[in-house]
Structure 1
Amino acid sequence: MKTAVLICPGRGTYTKTELGSLARFPDRPLLARFDAARTALGQETLSALDGAASYSVAKHSRGDNASALIYACTLGDRLALQGVNLVAVTGNSMGWYSALACAGALSPENGFTVVNTMGTLMQERLIGGQLVYPFLGEDWQPDPARKADLLALVANIATRPDHALALSIDLGGMLVIAGNEAGLKAFEAAVPPVQGRFPLRLSNHAAFHTALQAPVAAEGRARLPETLFRQPDLPLIDGRGHVWWPGAATTAALRDYTLGHQVVESYDFTTAIRTAAREFAPDYFIIPGPGTTLGGAVAQSLILSGWKGMTSKADFQHQQGECPLLVSMAIPEQRALVT
């Protein structure tokens, strides 16, 4: 049986092409419980959002809607896995909450409570914003000097009066930068446009994984007790690359990280993938739905880790063609490998 690490996607992965994804959710009573919980809070149900006639950026990308939709899509694909031996779970940003549920550290319902609560708090406060900018060229060859220059620019802007700016997510060949409007505008003015779309502002995104989110973290801790958490069934790799081993993780520490460091400090997805590769050496890196956009960041992270000797996009494509290692469950032919 093939071994696999599951990599849960974060915000921005449920777009217009993902509308209708919950039609394949394998546990309809569980989805009905999610819908009932949303109704009780006065929120539109996931079934209604996912079953809408058309996608609305204003509605579907909101934190209070997008987070719960993404969680349900990810969890549904986790439940659909067959014929693979999951050896660890990780995720990107909001995907950490999904990873907790997929690894058993939160029940499906408690995972939904955490995701829906934090997504709603982020949307209500909407402190700051995010943008994405690549430091790798289109060949994906490592360029540590370019990365260092960009991070130095971020640090410089952050020293200016009334400018808040920090690294939000180290995302493969991309830097997700977060801050207040002055900080973001200064960064946009200082870097050249590349690849026809960067720097790219992210709609309805707050300054995740920065100190600006301290009020959200505090409110999350006030609303989400330790009793929601339990020992994971599978190893969990967090946004520092740290492994939470079953039997060694305490529920208090898991909650403290989830509603503390994970909210207000940079999320190092690249290091999480490096840990997944080197610590667990899986046959497959599986990305559940929704969407396929996380695939590039996983591939770039593996290249930056020197996994299987890969040093470029061409190396990854050759490896993927010879013996696939990346499985995106939103792509039917790849999904068939693991369901």
Structure 2
Amino acid sequence: MTMNMENQAAANDQADQVVNKPRERVVVVAPGRGCYNKDELGYLKRFHSDKQAFIAGIDQYREDLKQTGIAKIDGAAKYSFKQHTPGENASALIYACSVCDFMDIDTERYEVVAVTGNSMGWYIALACASALDGDAAIDVINTMGSMMQGGLIGGQLIYPEIDSQWRHDTEISSLIDRIIETICDEDGCELFTSIYLGGYRVLAGNEAGLKRAEEMLPQIEERYPMRLYNHGAFHSPLLEQVSEKGFASLAEYLFSKPKIPLIDGEGRIWTPYGTDCSKLREYTLGDQVTKPYDFSKAVQVAVKEFAPDKVIVLGPGNTLGGPTAQALIDLNWFGWSNKVEFSADQQASPKMLAMGNDEQRSLCTAK
């Protein structure tokens, strides 16, 4: 299988030679599961009809495994939870949408100085940074995304730990920590922090643990705590077996030194010159699977270390826009100290661009 995925790093070098004015520095953020919903149906067809060879390469890989092609899933007449949300379909579909968006970033206007992502978005970030080539990326993403095809292991729920102005509320965070500790002391209950997601905490656990969390966490807006449909207990010890299967299935040769710096879910920077590929594999298939993923820290390290002019959040969808902004507000980055300031600044001169937002998308691409 051959995939003609553009190399953003090479494009950066080429653009330096043809553009005289300084390009804006951008950190790119890749989304994870849950970002392809009803409104995103047809995303590939709508925005990426010019990338048929890349999409066909993914579908050939999936056809060999007797899996439905992503072009067919994306082109379905209607959105279906049964078809669009299982990991074996959602992972490859979201990967394709995000990487195609990455290919569309205008490299004459922007220099990508670092890449990060949320949860499954870490695999996408590896692909964008060329730490996984096209063949390796779909192998890793499809393999890890299909691990629970025979049945989910545990589940996840999400709960806010911010106030109405998107400022971190330490009292709520402490309450969540106490509830986790209390539940884990109960027989048959398992509950863990899964993701630090901007202004939200994602919890992973077994059914007993999640039910107790739903009982103990105060109801907010008649919405939270919210179960995440078709999500397993990602980034928790419950996925030890998934990690072991990943190591058994995915060899070290799949991983390369990134051509663009990467920031992982522990805030670690993987550089083009200093990366040990064996350690990159160990993190990706080990701690990244079984320990909490700190998306907030990843975003904060990225902006502090690489000082971007803007942050670009890849599609599909824009569910990661809020958590990314909340992680930046926590630092008072771009002068944002609350939701009102963020919204006003975005209206005047947006510094965070979501490619899943039609208006902001046009500011990212040369199309």
Please indicate the TM-score interval, normalised by the length of the shorter structure: over 0.9
- For the pair 1:327 / 2:345, whether they are aligned, the reply is no
Equivalent position to 1:195, from 221, 226, 231: 221
Find the counterpart in structure 1 of residue 19 from structure 2.
none
Q: Secondary structure at the match of 1:327?
A: strand
2:247 aligned residue (221, 224, 235):
221
2:158 pairs with 94, 118, 132, which one?
A: 132
Which residue among 24, 27, 44 is the counterpart of 2:51?
27
Partner of 2:36: 14
Shift of 1:135: 1.2
The answer to whether the 8 Å contact 1:164/1:183 transfers is yes
Q: Which amino acid aligns with 1:304?
A: D
1:312 Cα deviation from its structure 2 partner? 1.1
Give the Å deviation of 1:323.
2.3
Deviations 1:176-222 (A, max 9, x none): 00100110000100012112311111111000000000000100110
Secondary structure of the corresponding residue to residue 113 of structure 1: helix
Decide whether the 8 Å contact of 2:167 with 2:199 is kept in 1: no
Which segment is superposed worse, 318-327 or 166-175? 318-327
Q: CA deviation at 1:125?
A: 4.3
Report the Cα offset of residue 153 of structure 1: 1.1
**AA matched with 2:211:** K
2:198 to 172, 183, 195: 172
Output the amino acid matched with 1:68.
A
Contact 1:125 1:216 in 2 (8 A): no
**Structure 2 Cα separation of the partners of residues 189 and 258 of structure 1:** 34
1:259 matched to 2:281? The reply is no
Question: Which residue does 2:76 correspond to in 1?
Answer: 52
RMSD of Structure 2 on Structure 1 (CA): 1.0
Q: Secondary structure at the match of 2:79?
A: coil
**1:261 partner amino acid:** D
Tell me the distance in 2 between the aligned counterparts of 1:324 and 1:258. 33
Cα offsets for 1:135-159 (capped at 9, x unmatched): 1122212212221221221122112
Q: Could you tell me which residue of structure 2 aligns to residue 276 of structure 1?
A: 302
Aligned to 2:93: 69
> Offset at 1:54?
0.4
- Amino acid in the other structure paired with 2:101: D
Q: State the Cα distance separating 1:124 from its structure 2 match.
A: 2.9
Q: Distance in 2 between matches of 1:246 and 1:195?
A: 45
Q: How many residues get paired?
A: 339
CA distance in structure 1 between the aligned counterparts of 2:272 and 2:327, rounded to whole angstroms? 25
| Residues 245-324 of structure 1: pairs in structure 2 closer than 5 A | 245-324=271-350
Q: One-letter code of the match for 2:327?
A: S
User: Which letter maps to 1:210?
Assistant: S
The superposition leaves residues 235-275 of structure 1 with CA deviations (integer Å, 9 ceiling, x where unpaired) of: 00000111111110011011000000000000000101110
Q: Structure 2: any 5+ residue segments left out of the alignment?
A: 1-22
- The answer on whether the counterparts of 2:314 and 2:356 sit within 8 Å (CA) in structure 1 is yes
Counterpart secondary structure, 2:150 = helix
Aligned equivalents of 2:41, 2:283: Cα separation in 1? 32
The residue correspondences of 1:67-216 to structure 2 (distance < 5 A) are: 67-82=91-106, 83-216=109-242
- Structure 2 length as normaliser, TM-score? 0.90
> Is the CA contact (8 Å cut-off) linking 1:142 and 1:311 kept in structure 2?
no
Q: Report the 3-state secondary structure (helix = DSSP H, G, I; strand = E; otherwise coil) of the residue aligned with 2:135.
A: helix
The 1:284/1:123 distance shift into structure 2, 3 A limit, reads farther
Point out where structure 1 has 5 or more consecutive residues left out of the alignment.
Answer: none
Larger mean CA deviation between 42-51 and 193-202 belongs to 193-202
What CA distance in whole angstroms lies between the structure 2 residues aligned with 1:298 and 1:165? 25
| TM-score calculated relative to the size of structure 1 | 0.98
1:319 CA drift (Å):
2.2
Identity of aligned residues (%): 46
Does structure 1 residue 5 correspond to structure 2 residue 27? yes
- Return 306-315 or 243-252, whichever deviates more: 306-315
> Which amino acid is the alignment partner of residue 159 of structure 1?
D
